[in-house]
Structure 1
Amino acid sequence: MAADVPPIILPWHDLAATIKEIAAKVRDDGSPDVVVGILRGGMVPATVFAHALAVRTVRAVEVLHTTSDTLNAAKTEAPQVANPASLGDLAGRDVLVVDDIAGSGGTMAYSTKLVTQAGATRVRSAVCIVNAGNWQGPQTPEETLTYIGTTVEGWVIFPWENQ
């Protein structure tokens, strides 16, 4: 993606509307027992999802796939997890894993694998935005992710980030 393309600045009201739409789809498929937010960016939407779905159990996992928070930051070779034990025991649980954005899909794939390894019997994924400009397949985002809010091409700055 070209570095000269201006970032997309996402306002709170657009994010809230996106989460509301996704939460309705999740609810139609059955509310999860646990919501897991991918730190850092996925934790804010995970909390909003938990409230929208009336889920009281929220966990976090720190998985990084970029080298910094700067605009158009480079990706690490593979996702890195800081503390997989933060998920706790998810045996027999229905889990929704949430992130703010999916670029390559690698962070979500790695996170859902960790959730499965923690014992979850049902694992679904939700992202507010897919950055199609960074998606690396071979499967499409729709084939890889359970719930997608919207798709864009470009770097997104979320309301909680430095703007």
Structure 2
Amino acid sequence: MVKLRVKVVTWEDVVRWTKELAFVILESGYKPDVIVAIARGGLTPARLLADYMDVIDILSLKVEHWVETGSHQEEAVIKYAAQGIDLSNAKVLIVDDICDTGKSLMVAKDYVEKYWKARQVKLATMQYIEPVAQIRPDYFVDLVRDWTWYMYPWNYVEDMVNLVKKILKEHAPLSLQEIIIKFQEWYNITPPIPLSETLRVMEYRGLVKKVDGKYELS
């Protein structure tokens, strides 16, 4: 039984989506002076968009919302807030990888308008998960009608670790082969990095221990 709907995203997907997104924005007539990337997920898409759209200035805001793969804290908050930035003469594009609840986008937009005094702000994401989002981005290219966890290339290790942790919380101790079977049952995807490598990383981080050939959480 699948417990979490997961889509593995490739680098090729990211390049294709950001290229499509760039043309959607350009064809709308909006030409931002500054791109603000929501860290961490928006950093790579923002850099690619800047290249396609000939935007020189990129800033970032660290927004904390998702605390673990598939789960989030109730409110999104700005971390390491930078003040004293003046964008009063700038048209701004705020970029994130995905609009899920939309709270990260809303918090970032409010901050950029209130503290950085941006003249105009628009929002862009690759994915827009329509059923759960509380805000609709101005620009997106992939409309998602069923909630799905998108596993982006810059998040493979973190996501794989968290997905394995979910399994071990319920079923430890398990051998590598048993974890492989459970992983397929729970998520129905081909792991983007081998589960053996994931468990090795988890051992280095002190998250799991191996006893008599089986893994359990430390």
TM-score by length of 1: 0.85
Structure 2: 5+ residue stretches without partners: 157-191, 193-218
Higher relative contact order by CA 8 Å / sep ≥ 6: 1 or 2? Answer: 1
Q: Runs of 4+ in structure 1 displaced over 3 angstroms?
A: none
How far off its partner does 1:17 sit? 1.3
Structure 1: 5+ residue stretches without partners: none
Q: Which residue of 2 aligns with 1:44?
A: 44
In the alignment, is residue 149 of structure 1 matched against residue 141 of structure 2? yes
2:75 aligned counterpart, secondary structure: strand
TM-score by length of 2: 0.65
Higher helix share: 2
Alpha-carbon distance change, 15 to 78 in structure 1, aligned in 2, over 3 angstroms? same
1:4 aligned counterpart, secondary structure: coil
Q: Which residue of 2 aligns with 1:105?
A: 102
Q: Which residue of 2 aligns with 1:130?
A: 128
Using the alignment, how far apart are the partners of 1:62 and 1:93 within structure 2?
20
1:84 aligned counterpart, secondary structure: coil
Aligned residue pair count: 153
In the alignment, is residue 78 of structure 1 matched against residue 78 of structure 2? no
Using the alignment, how far apart are the partners of 2:100 and 2:38 within structure 1?
14
Larger radius of gyration between Structure 1 and Structure 2:
2
How far off its partner does 1:96 sit? 0.3
User: 1:45–1:99: 8 Å Cα contact kept in structure 2?
Assistant: yes
Using the alignment, how far apart are the partners of 2:120 and 2:126 within structure 1?
20
How far off its partner does 1:125 sit? 0.4
Using the alignment, how far apart are the partners of 1:89 and 1:43 within structure 2?
21
